[in-house]
Amino acid sequence: MTAATVSPNTQTGTARPWLTAAIVWALLLTVPFWLPMLGGYTALAARVLVFGLAAMSFNLLLGFTGVMSFGHAAYFGLGAYGAGLTLKYIAASTPLAILAGILLGGLAGTLFGLFIVRRRGVYFAMVTVAFGQIAFYVAYSWDSLTGGYDGLRGFSRAPLHLGPLTLDIVNNDKIFYYFLLAVFAIATGLQGLLLASPFGRTLLAIRENERRARFLGIPVERHIWMSFSISCCFTALAGALYALLNNFADPMGLHYSLSGEIVIMAVMGGMRAFWGPLAGAALFVILQDTISSMTVNWMSFVGLIFVLVVLFFPRGMLGIFQKGTGK
């Protein structure tokens, strides 16, 4: 397979990408109105958006480049700390906080990627864990700046001033949800354009057959490094939004256990379906919220469901709607 012969359906991973996208956006746009009727709440939908973006960003690397990372929580957490530190010490500006989070997590991912990119398989995965844990222990130990184990507190998202219009994303949960949805739409739109571009098709070619891609003259390491860097930037954006959602950032946002949860979301939803990680994130967050209110051992039940999904739906929840686009 060459970069030029990848089927367009492979990029979205579904047989009817426009129908899937229409259903997804119809649900997301109306969720504040129908979710309370089912016993949910708007903040739960906001968490789904944040972790859905994190899982979709990670899936750029796993599902569309074919490279596994177990350290993506580092860039999620750095994005959260970047946003929180900006709001607390620099300026009460939500856009500036988001930009700072993207820069901190994205630059770290770009730098770490230079050392990781020549490794493959389990070695690549283990090195990502190592770099992730370095970030975790720095945040855990630097009490004076990050708050250490107790986390970073004392900041809050600020209202958005759009000329004469002010959006109260501080006290109005619905407005904040639609703000998150707007950022999510921009991010996923950019991801879709990226995957539809020649660069995105080249990533798919590397995923399908790295050796053949090398024979075609594709600089594989450079493309994997760029994919890793871009994935980290989007993951850092999700982390910045997470800090705004909770007005809090803590070291566990960088821990490898969160990386494992992001992997579970992507795999459960369907890592070769564009919207699959979002579906997996929705299932994971809802199960976590529901089961954790009943027992502290909620992860055991989520783990059991994950095993069942892998056994009976190896392509994930949305992957079952794929055409024969490769396994």
Half-sphere exposure of 105 (CA within 13 A, CB side): 39
- Of the pLDDT bands very low, low, confident and very high (cuts 50, 70, 90), residue 8 is very low
Q: Which domains does the chain have, with CATH numbers?
A: 3-321 (1.10.3470)
CA 152, CA 324: separation in Å to the nearest integer?
47
Average pLDDT value for residue range 154-162 = 90
CA distances from 245 to 37, 50, 257 (A): 22, 9, 20
Q: pLDDT value at position 286?
A: 92
Under the banding of pLDDT at 50, 70 and 90, the label for residue 323 is low
User: Does the pLDDT of residue 11 top 70, yes or no?
Assistant: no
Do residues 64 and 203 make contact, with C-beta atoms less than 8 angstroms apart?
yes
3-state helix, strand, coil in the chain (%, to 5): 75, 0, 25
Which residue, 49, 298, 247, 312, is CA-closest to 320? 312
Question: Is pLDDT larger for residue 108 or for residue 301?
Answer: 108
Q: What is the rounded CA–CA span in Å between residue 116 and residue 83?
A: 26
Asked whether the predicted pLDDT for residue 240 surpasses 90, the reply is yes
Between 49-53, 210-214, 295-299, the lowest mean confidence (pLDDT) is in 295-299
Confidence label for 326 from pLDDT (cuts 50, 70 and 90): very low
In this model, does residue 322 exceed pLDDT 80? no
- Pairing verdict, β 160-162 and 165-167: antiparallel
On whether the CB atoms of residues 230 and 67 are closer than 8 A, the answer is: no
The Cα–Cα gap between 226 and 199 comes to 10
Inform me whether the pLDDT recorded for 226 exceeds 60.
Answer: yes
Is 49 a residue whose pLDDT tops 70?
A: yes
Length of the chain: 327
User: For residue 22, is pLDDT > 70?
Assistant: yes
pLDDT tier, 206 (very low <50, low <70, confident <90, very high otherwise): very high
Confidence of residue 296 (pLDDT cuts 50, 70, 90): confident
**Other Cβ atoms closer than 10 A to 196:** 13
pLDDT, mean over the chain: 88
Given phi > 0 = left and psi -120 to 50 = alpha, else beta, which region is 273? beta
